[in-house]
Amino acid sequence: MKNPKEGFENLIYEINKSKGLDELTSKLISILFVEPREISLEELAERTGYSLSAVSMSMKMFTNSGLIKKLKKPKSRKVYFYMEKNIIPYVIENMKKTLKNIEISKKEMPEIIKNYKKTGMKEELEIAKDYYKRISVAEKIIRDVLNSLENLK
């Protein structure tokens, strides 16, 4: 029988690789997500097969995202990391950032489209109009998803 922890880690690894993340990042995310306890930097380096400095550099990026917490234990010099298992608040935050960008675009696009109409640049006008239409659809989808996710918090 296959070890379920290895299977779960591999699943998370493959999902992250398919998103275009590099091997180390994908390995770190899979280990941290599946592991129920905090893990030392040294253990992460050992489990990934990467150097301590490479893992340390990647972990600095992660702790800035807020999804991974950096911890120190009393009377220990080691640095530990723990990944939040409830990813919904993180997803919500990213969707809200995307929504702000969409709102900026929706505010600016009518004027841009109006100016394109004055120039006779028909192909660019069609691209701009299509973009405006698509961000309007994306806005509705994101708002619907956000409403659903807010209920899961």
pLDDT at 153: 57
Element housing 72 (H / E): strand 68-72
Query: What does the mean pLDDT of the chain come to?
Result: 90
The two tokens of residue 45 are: 């380096």
Average of per-residue pLDDT across 33-62: 92
SS3 75: coil
pLDDT in tens, 79-135: 999 998 887 787 888 899 999 999 999 999 999 999 999 998 999 999 999 999 999
**To 10 degrees, the CA torsion angle through 60, 58, 56, 86?**
70
pLDDT score of 67 more than 80: no
pLDDT score of 141 more than 90: yes
Instruction: Locate the domains of the chain by residue range.
Output: 4-83, 88-150
What are the residues facing 40 on neighbouring strands? 80
The two tokens of residue 66 are: 């807020």
Please name the fold of domain 4-83: Arc Repressor Mutant, subunit A (1.10.10)
Average of per-residue pLDDT across 45-59: 93
pLDDT at 1: 53
Average of per-residue pLDDT across 50-64: 88
